[in-house]
């Protein structure tokens, strides 16, 4: 049995062969007509502006790609390595304006920050508060806190730096809308630094 008779023995195969043959014949006729009837396409007049713009497009794309690679490289080599996992900071609570004997104690490692939950008696007369941290020798750190109605507990994160063990004092002053400051209270605590 020849290969030609094999195609026509199967009705589906025969239909596919006839369709392909018909497609080829019609394509030859249409392509022959289109080449005879086609107009000669003339190029547009040469433009200096279009030429310069066309020449600069790859340059702009190259500059954009270089800038993008620089940003991605900076993020991967500088920014992301600096990011650290969240950590739980040592903390204590301080009630400003109350009387008590000995203050609480915080144990930290050298250079580590800590968290103070400062309870300030609410007073509508103040627009903001100033929280000052005094170390054994001098003023070490300050923070301005905007007053919020009804809020009396403020989480204050003290950044890590070189500190010495000893008695520390938090002084809270209220700032009135005209800008006058009044001391609300102070509270001491012991900072212990362990290696």
4-49: pLDDT as tens digits: 555 567 888 888 888 888 888 888 888 777 655 656 556 666 555 5
In the numeric block, the tokens 């900072």 are attached to: 191
E strand or H helix that includes residue 113: none
The residue-averaged pLDDT of 134-155 equals 87
Inter-residue contact 187 to 96 (CB < 8 Å): yes
Query: How, if at all, do strands 166-175 and 105-108 pair?
Result: unpaired
Q: What is the pLDDT at residue 38?
A: 59
More confident residue, 29 or 189: 189
The residue-averaged pLDDT of 147-151 equals 80
pLDDT-derived band at 76, boundaries 50, 70, 90 = confident
Coil, strand or helix: which one is 130? Answer: strand
92-118: pLDDT as tens digits: 888 887 776 677 899 998 988 899 998
Q: What is the pLDDT at residue 115?
A: 92
Q: What is the pLDDT at residue 172?
A: 92
The yes-or-no verdict on residue 130 having pLDDT over 70 is: yes
The residue-averaged pLDDT of 82-97 equals 80
Q: What is the pLDDT at residue 26?
A: 86
Long-range own/partner contacts, residues 182-188 (CB < 8 A, 24 or more apart): 184/96, 184/97, 184/120, 184/121, 184/123, 184/129, 185/96, 185/97, 185/98, 185/120, 185/121, 186/96, 187/94, 187/95, 187/96, 187/98, 187/103, 187/118, 188/103
What CA–CA distance (Å, rounded) separates 112 from 14? 85
Contacts for 169 with CB less than 8 Å, ≥ 6 apart: 133, 134, 186, 187, 188, 189
């Amino acid at each position: 049995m020849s290969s030609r008779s094999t195609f026509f023995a199967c009705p589906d195969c025969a239909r596919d062969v006839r369709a392909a043959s018909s497609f080829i014949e019609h394509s030859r006729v249409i392509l022959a007509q289109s080449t005879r009837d086609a107009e000669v396409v003339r190029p547009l007049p040469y433009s200096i502006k279009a030429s310069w713009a066309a020449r600069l497009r790859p340059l702009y794309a190259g500059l954009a790609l270089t800038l993008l690679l620089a940003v991605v490289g900076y993020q991967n080599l500088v920014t992301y390595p600096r990011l650290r996992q969240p950590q739980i900071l040592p903390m204590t609570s301080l009630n400003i304006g109350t009387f008590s004997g000995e203050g609480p104690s915080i144990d930290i490692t050298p250079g580590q920050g800590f968290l103070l939950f400062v309870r300030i008696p609410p007073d509508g007369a103040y627009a903001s508060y100033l929280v000052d941290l005094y170390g054994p020798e001098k003023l070490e750190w300050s923070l301005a806190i905007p007053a919020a109605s009804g809020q009396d507990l403020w989480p204050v994160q003290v950044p890590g730096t070189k500190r010495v063990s000893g008695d520390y004092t938090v002084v809270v002053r209220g700032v009135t809308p005209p800008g006058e400051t009044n001391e609300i209270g102070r509270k001491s605590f012991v900072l212990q630094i362990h290696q």
